[in-house]
Structure 1
Amino acid sequence: MKKFILYIGILATTLNSCSDFIEEENKAFGSAEQYYLTAPGFESLVNTNYSTLKDIYGGDPWLFEAGTDMYSEGRNQEPEGLAKYLTLSSSSLGVDLLYRTCYTAIQQANKGVYFSTLTESSSTLETRVGELKFLRANAYFLLVQTYGGVPIVLDNFNSAVTSFDRNTAEEVYVQILKDLNEALPVVSSAGYTGRVNKRAVLNLMAKVHLTRGYETFAAADDFTTAATLADQVINGQALNVTFEDVVKPGNEMNAETIFSVQFSELSNATGNTALGNSQNYWFGPYLGAAAAGTPYPNRSYTLCPTVYALSLFEKGDKRWESTFMHEIFTRYYDFYTSADKSASKVAHFYEPKWFTQVERDAYLASHTNLGAIKAPATLPPGYHPWGSYSSAAPSGADYNLIPVRKFDDPKAPYSGASSANYNTTPITPATNRSSTRDFIIARLGETYLIAAEAYFNAGNSPLALARLNEVRRRAGGGVVGAIPVLTSIDINTILDERGRELLGEYHRWFDLKRTGTLVERTVLHNPKVTSANAFVGANGNLKILRPIPQSALDLNRNNNFPQNPAY
């Protein structure tokens, strides 16, 4: 048995519920351990496991998105090490987030599996154990992608252990797939209701096989297995939900959602800026005071789309207007609250890449309320021409970047202004976790792209193109050819399409790391990382994996625990 330090301590048993229907309840039964021996108590324990997802995905996004080709800092600074690599070390700000939160989830899952052998029998017991193993596998998958080999811990601990060993990445993948294969036959086969079901398990299995397929220890059939599993998830379902409805606030439980972290206004009642998620907070500029009708958190002005990210979209791609708030009304939320938008004044317009002079002139002629043109060569106030509003924009003025709106939450309360310098005066995570929108971890659009990537790597380009072009068909409004049908495919084609479809959805760093393109594409497209030398660490090793957090190493009495090679 591998030894393990309880990095995050013994968990409380009163974590917040995952959703309206996944709730904990202990009616003064006695100790938690006694309560878990009852069917309702065990159900409560399993529900606590779903709550651990809130801290994995609800807080800071740096380990998911920073330091990639699609986002770089704007007016406010991101954590220096994770954003720019040169100073990345085991003590860097934010590097421990997934280590802490994922091991919290793993310990809770272990507790659930342990009590499943002691609690009273129920009709759902076996199903709940399958759910626990899925949640444990998901946590280990995040860990192994981020840090490489990590300790495999399968026992329930009730006191701190001060020494632990490090497993290899290969061993971690074996354990992940073992958990998923054991979960698959026992979880529900019903449609998605917020709990793990067979479709969610198959989807994660597909992505695990796809990711392992790039490793030196890959199984020979990993890519073909990933493609087969992804097609089982798809099961003939076309992408018939419009992209606008996929990202529409309040529509997170649409027909294409495979798995999500569920939040609710009720669960945030006692901490309306601390218990939700912060996905609505990132990917845009500061927009002014909340009293003026601008968004609750006013954006962070840190993770901002690069020129590359913005240039991915082409004329006819409905994802442009559904991803970005390309027209901002005088009151931002008029977009969501005004049934008749014809009376709403457009205060800011962000010109897309494909606009011609004719299209610009036509827009200005029909939107004279943007402001009077001062001179023939001068655009009116509020008109942002193409090339002026990416993360590379020279000025940090309000509205200087195009806001990402696909995560907007009109029901979220205002949660405070951002820090000007995240490295010296970091935002307290509780100040921006105000959104109660569900956080979608897996959806069918990405499954099509998993299938495309898997088929491509398995040598089946025709099927890879078929899966990818289905995503593009929906992007064109459901009309084949509304945007060009692709006739050739490579890994860059796939990454470009993932960028369009999944912008901001907490996948990008993993995409680049998985495909071996992190250094090349970040240097090519991120204006704050201009040389591959930024990735060079100890003894010439590249900083691809993140370092094992120094705080974990300091607590470990096992001196034979290697740090990752570049640190």
Structure 2
Amino acid sequence: MKKLIILGILALTFSSCSDFIEEDNLASADAESTYKTAAGFNLLVNANYSQLREIYGDDAYVFCAGTDLYAVGSGRGSEPDGLSEYTQLNSSSTDVDQLYISCYKAVRAANTALFYSDITEQTNDLNTLIGEVKYLRANAYFLLVQTYGGVGIVTEYVDYPQLSFDRDSAEEVYNLIISDLEAALNAVSTSSYNGRVNKRAVQHLLAKVYLTRAYESFADTSDFATAASYADDAIAGEALTIPFDELWFPGNEMNTETLFSVQFSESSISSDPENLGHKQGNWFGPYLGGSENVENGIVNAPWRSYTLLATDFALDLFSSDDERYNATFMTEVYMKYYDEFRVDDKSGLEIRHYYTPKWATQAEVDAYAIAHPEAQIHLWGTYAASVVSSDYQTIPAKKFDDPKAPFANGSNRVGTRDIILSRLGETYLIAAEAYLNTNPATGLDRLNAVRERAGAEPATIGEFDIDYVLDERARELFGEYHRWFDLKRTEKLVERASLHNYLIEESNFNGANGELKILRPIPQSALDLNQNKDFAQNPAYN
């Protein structure tokens, strides 16, 4: 492995030198003495978990924008053009450095912990903690390699910046990820999930890593089979039994189907509640009002933007028997939006907006209007991203609503709910996709287990192909931070984004040198600092 410190360079670039020294001066006598104790080393490991908040807690564009499911509202709001439309995507585009910076900070935190693990107090749980850290480093590198391709591999702890570094191949990065995860698998706890990495979390991520590598030119011929095996290990015979609406009810994030998440709580962000939380609840719905929604300190509606709204395609994926539609979207909006979660008996509540599903008949719509004369009726086909024209015009997604979050505008991070990164429903779909390529009958069984929980009709073997899998992932995982990676992995990004996102033409993906803009560009700021001028940019951006 090469002795580099890309992270140190990035930290120096994007924060002041004094902040970098104060926060990361890990060679000081105090740090040396602290991290050599069991309690101090635990603090270091906990700091690794905290880095997840920086990776996932800010804007969602790098995870969701520029896909088939989400787009900015027509004539409203703004998304970064590069990530959302690809026309202006270059090495200096807004947010292309988000994962590069945050993931390398996570890598540096992990390398620091692994360095001190050799010299800290040797305890019975030390090997478990090392396994947790290796999982977290692997997760960071997995995000990096999917987003940028080959990147610089850093495995040593270095407490000073080096300004010349090399670029490793994507194949080498995958080898490191798998090595870290396999080491973690034999070290972490086998107990139920309690907020820390356990064996099922590692199995889930290994399944996804092998599944993703299976599409690469350097894939091993057994990658799909290995992915299926790890997914089944993570499933561990557990059925999907929690109703979908309960799965996403605020406060139920630590249900038995959660395999790994980024931990948040009111108490953990209390020292700075507008900046220490996250933004997941800011997206996937229309603007719902401002500070006028706060009464006596109680927030009655969240702040929302007009960005990452559901496309017509996303809404059209659901059928009338699929319980996930009403569990994902707020089809009825009460005068106080959060009464959806705060009031048990809603029979006396006044309804402000109603979004008719595509399966509603005209007679049903007319009857609803008579029963609720105060409600504004939004007809099917008038409330997707491409036609939004006013507040509440677009249907809100409610999966990530947080009635406990303080009111703040879009520049603040106020979310207090956990961000779910791995859960059992996705594990079944990983298995389904992997088995699609090795044993389709078994893959169909895994996919239909997800549909059965949703109350939806089972898919047939004739329907079961990669497009059906992607559609099912959209229904099951809407708004969760997977979609860009799903389309990129399956080589469907250009096709689906240009077909279903009203802002994207296929030609938008045309880059330099006859290459398509699939990988994101290496951030220009990192290239400028690198004194090794042989560090190549991704070819579509040269």
Cross-structure match for 1:392: 386
Q: Could you tell me how far apart the structure 2 residues matched to 1:116 and 1:223 are?
A: 34
Cross-structure match for 2:66: 67
Deviation of 1:170 (Å): 0.3
Q: Could you tell me how far apart the structure 1 residues matched to 2:396 and 2:368 are?
A: 20
SS at match of 1:313: coil
Cross-structure match for 1:122: 123
Deviation per CA, 1:42-80, whole angstroms, max 9, x where unpaired? 010000000000010110111100000001111101001
SS at match of 2:386: coil
Deviation per CA, 1:82-117, whole angstroms, max 9, x where unpaired? 111011000000000000000000000000000000
Q: Could you tell me how far apart the structure 1 residues matched to 2:22 and 2:445 are?
A: 48
Cross-structure match for 1:461: 440
Task: For 1:464, give the aligned amino acid.
Answer: G
Task: For 1:483, give the aligned amino acid.
Answer: E
Task: For 2:441, give the aligned amino acid.
Answer: P
Matches within 5 A, 1:216-295: 216-292=217-293
Matching of residue 410 in structure 1 with residue 411 in structure 2: no
Task: For 2:448, give the aligned amino acid.
Answer: N
Q: Could you tell me how far apart the structure 2 residues matched to 1:542 and 1:398 are?
A: 36
Higher mean Cα deviation, 316-325 or 447-456? 316-325
Task: For 1:298, give the aligned amino acid.
Answer: W
RMSD of aligned Cα (Å): 1.5
Cross-structure match for 2:356: 351
Matching of residue 449 in structure 1 with residue 443 in structure 2: no
Indicate conservation of the 8 Å contact 2:335/2:352, yes or no.
yes
Q: Could you tell me how far apart the structure 2 residues matched to 1:565 and 1:309 are?
A: 32
Deviation of 1:527 (Å): 0.3
Deviation per CA, 1:255-291, whole angstroms, max 9, x where unpaired? 1000000011112111111001100001111112343
Q: Could you tell me how far apart the structure 2 residues matched to 1:541 and 1:305 are?
A: 29
Indicate conservation of the 8 Å contact 1:68/1:522, yes or no.
yes
Task: For 1:88, give the aligned amino acid.
Answer: L
Q: Structure 1 regions of 5+ residues with no counterpart?
A: 16-28, 371-381, 419-430, 477-481
Matching of residue 507 in structure 1 with residue 482 in structure 2: yes
Deviation of 1:369 (Å): 3.3
Normalised to the residue count of structure 2, the TM-score between the two structures is: 0.94
Cross-structure match for 2:369: 364
SS at match of 1:566: helix
Cross-structure match for 1:190: 191
Cross-structure match for 1:479: none
Cross-structure match for 1:310: 315
Q: Could you tell me how far apart the structure 1 residues matched to 2:428 and 2:291 are?
A: 39
Higher share in helix: 2
Deviation of 1:484 (Å): 4.5
Q: Could you tell me how far apart the structure 2 residues matched to 1:33 and 1:501 are?
A: 47
Normalised to the residue count of structure 1, the TM-score between the two structures is: 0.90
Cross-structure match for 1:25: none
The counterpart of 1:320, out of the listed 322, 325, 347, is 325
Q: Structure 2 regions of 5+ residues with no counterpart?
A: 13-18
Cross-structure match for 2:171: 170
Q: Could you tell me how far apart the structure 1 residues matched to 2:133 and 2:424 are?
A: 23
Task: For 2:67, give the aligned amino acid.
Answer: T
Cα distance, 1:447–1:352 mapped onto 2, change above 3 Å:
same
Cα distance, 1:440–1:221 mapped onto 2, change above 3 Å:
same
Q: Which ranges of 4 or more aligned residues in structure 1 deviate by more than 4 Å? A: 9-15, 293-297
Q: Could you tell me how far apart the structure 2 residues matched to 1:167 and 1:30 are?
A: 34
Q: Could you tell me how far apart the structure 2 residues matched to 1:224 and 1:266 are?
A: 43
Q: Could you tell me how far apart the structure 1 residues matched to 2:368 and 2:21 are?
A: 57
Q: Could you tell me how far apart the structure 2 residues matched to 1:89 and 1:139 are?
A: 22
Cross-structure match for 2:419: 439
Aligned length: 522
Cross-structure match for 2:16: none
Deviation of 1:528 (Å): 0.4
Higher mean Cα deviation, 150-159 or 361-370? 361-370
Deviation of 1:30 (Å): 6.6
SS at match of 1:31: helix
Deviation of 1:297 (Å): 4.3
Matching of residue 83 in structure 1 with residue 81 in structure 2: no
Cα distance, 1:446–1:112 mapped onto 2, change above 3 Å:
same
Task: For 1:548, give the aligned amino acid.
Answer: I
Indicate conservation of the 8 Å contact 1:4/1:165, yes or no.
no
Indicate conservation of the 8 Å contact 1:297/1:432, yes or no.
no
SS at match of 1:348: strand
Deviation of 1:340 (Å): 1.4
Identity %: 55
Deviation of 1:359 (Å): 2.3
Q: Could you tell me how far apart the structure 2 residues matched to 1:268 and 1:486 are?
A: 47
Indicate conservation of the 8 Å contact 1:166/1:561, yes or no.
yes
SS at match of 1:392: helix
Task: For 2:352, give the aligned amino acid.
Answer: A
Matching of residue 495 in structure 1 with residue 470 in structure 2: yes
Indicate conservation of the 8 Å contact 1:296/1:412, yes or no.
no
Q: Could you tell me how far apart the structure 2 residues matched to 1:289 and 1:158 are?
A: 45
Indicate conservation of the 8 Å contact 1:287/1:295, yes or no.
no
Indicate conservation of the 8 Å contact 2:330/2:396, yes or no.
yes
Matching of residue 473 in structure 1 with residue 472 in structure 2: no
Indicate conservation of the 8 Å contact 2:288/2:301, yes or no.
no
Q: Could you tell me how far apart the structure 2 residues matched to 1:292 and 1:42 are?
A: 44
Cross-structure match for 1:18: none
Cross-structure match for 1:528: 503
Cross-structure match for 2:103: 102
Q: Could you tell me how far apart the structure 2 residues matched to 1:197 and 1:295 are?
A: 37
Cross-structure match for 1:426: none
Deviation of 1:355 (Å): 1.2
Task: For 2:68, give the aligned amino acid.
Answer: D
Indicate conservation of the 8 Å contact 2:35/2:120, yes or no.
yes
Matching of residue 50 in structure 1 with residue 49 in structure 2: yes
Deviation per CA, 1:165-218, whole angstroms, max 9, x where unpaired? 000000000000000011111100000000000000010000000000000000
